[in-house]
Every structure is written in C-alpha cells, then in structure tokens.
Amino acid sequence: MIYPRIIAHRCGGAVAPENTLAGLRLAGRLGCRGVEFDAMLAADGVPVLIHDETLERTTSGRGRVAGMSSAQLARFDAGIPHHAAFAGEPLPTLDEALRLCAELGLWANVEIKPPAGQEAETGYVVARHAAMAKGNLLLSSFSPQALRAAADEAEQLPRALLVEVIPADWRERMATTGAGALHASARALTADAFEAVRDAGFPLACYTVNRRQDAERLFAMGVSAVFTDRLDLWLPAEM
Ligand code: G3P
Ligand code: MG
C-alpha cells in the first residue's frame, strides 16, 4: 500500500472546517495529496462526513447525527464553527466528498465512524459507497466489527485497523479484520512496537502529528505517513 507522506486530518485540520468540501479544496490547493475524513450514517442510511455523534461542536445543528435524515443534515452550516469566512459550507455526504477527491486527484482515507450498536451496518454501507467511487482510497476504523463488515462488502478495497496504542495482539486483530496496514497514535508509539509491525511488512501511519520535528522523527523511524491538522507546515513538494 503506497501512502502519501502527509495526510490532511479531517480534510483540512486547522486550516479549514473539519470534514467539509472546503477542507478538501484547500488541502488540494496547498499541495496535499492525501486526505482523511470520518463517515457516519444519517437516519436514512446515507453516509455523511462528521466526526462526533452529535452536531453541536462542528455545525450549526443540535442533536444526534443518527436521529436526522441526510436532507435535514444538509441544511446545517459546517463552516461557521470554524470561522465566519466559511459560512454556508454544508455538511457533505460521503458520495460528494469522494467525487471531489476523484476530481482533485486526492488519495482518500475514509474512516468508518459507527455510533455504538451500528458497527456492522456502518461498515457495510460505507464500504458499498466507497466501492462505487472512482479514485484511490483506503478504509479504516477503530471498530474491528465495522472493518470486518467492510471487508465482507468490498474485499477489494484496502483497509487499515485504527488503534490508539498498538495492542499486544495486533497481529490477530489485523488478521480477523483483514487489514493490510495499521494506523496508531503517534503519542503512544514505542520503537519496539513499531519495529514489530514494520518487520511483519505492514505499513504504519500515525495520527495526529502537528509539529514538523515530530513528523521528521517518525519518518526517520520508517513510519509511512502522518495525519496532520497543520498542512501549512509543509511545502507542496514535501507532501
Ligand atoms: O484516522 C486517524 C484519526 O482521524 C483518528 O482519530 O478521532 O480524529 O478520527 P479521530
Ligand atoms: Mg478520523
């Protein structure tokens, strides 16, 4: 699996409203080649881009994402909580985001974000939509159940298991989910754990790395990619 070195966390991280099309456009303009975003199901089963199970932090809406239809969610403003300059930016569907990534030539990591109890359903539906998209993409999830469902739906799509700390049984977990790569928190990464993953031939990508010196240390160790909110720290040629 070939990773872009620098991946825009939640579409644009600090430079744009998270999980929005504006974030994808800005990431592309800054020279970023890879983006990550979070996909969750609306009440009508349409996958949309959002990180939290509730709307308050990142949109003008209130309440649970899973309690509203995609048409209701589309009316909320996902730009204003970041900055008034982004007012009117909609909460996008996964299909809209994947279409824009294909247009802009962005490699996309779709993180499957299921609320508790909806793991398998979210995995199936997100994988079904991703399988219909054009372009280069990878599915990931903290939920082994969601990842397993994604594998059953679209075996051909590359998948990564997300963890905070690399667990002692990481090999078994990767085998059960059919994952070909591991995404782990940079903060909790130890050299021993990293070497075991690397020696087994699996790429490792680390989140969320917002200082250049931390990214350089990780690349020197052999980490494949970093997720960052700070796209402004790199020149296009370095990404
Ligand atoms: O996929 C990497 C990273 O996005 C995982 O954490 O909480 O930002 O989705 P979170
Ligand atoms: Mg994420």
pLDDT, tens digit (0-9, with 9 covering 90-100), for 158-208: 999 999 999 999 999 999 999 999 999 999 899 999 999 999 999 999 999
- 51 catalytic residue (yes or no): yes
Tokens 């939920």, located at residue: 143
User: Tokens in use for 49?
Assistant: 């881009």
**pTM for the structure as a whole:** 0.97
Calculate how far, in angstroms, residue 51's C-alpha sits from the geometric centre of ligand 2: 7
Find, among 28, 32, 29, 72, the residue nearest to 50 by Cα.
72
Amino acid letter, residue 116:
A
CA distances from 172 to 74, 175, 183, 206, 237 (A): 40, 5, 15, 20, 37
Q: Please provide residue 220's backbone torsions phi and psi, each rounded to the nearest 5 degrees.
A: -65, -35
Find, among 162, 173, 157, 237, the residue nearest to 206 by Cα.
162
List the domain boundaries for the chain.
6-238
- 183 catalytic residue (yes or no): no
Calculate how far, in angstroms, residue 210's C-alpha sits from the geometric centre of ligand 1: 13
Asked whether the beta carbons of 127 and 146 are under 8 A apart, the reply is no
Say how far apart CA 177 and CA 172 lie, in whole Å.
9
Query: Check: CATH 3.30.450.20 for 6-238?
Result: no
Tokens 């996964």, located at residue: 94
Say what the pLDDT of residue 172 is: 95
Q: Which atom of ligand 1 is nearest to the CA of 113?
A: 9
User: Tokens in use for 189?
Assistant: 């990464």
Q: For a pocket test of ligand 1, which of 38, 109, 141, 209 has the largest count of ligand atoms closer than 8 A to its C-beta?
A: 38
Taking CB atoms and a 6 Å cutoff, what residues make up the pocket around ligand 1? 9, 36, 38, 51, 111, 140, 162, 183, 207, 227
Block means of pLDDT (10 residues each) for the chain, length 239 residues? 95 93 97 98 98 98 98 97 96 98 98 97 98 96 98 97 96 95 96 95 97 97 97 95
Q: Which atom of ligand 1 is nearest to the CA of 109?
A: 1
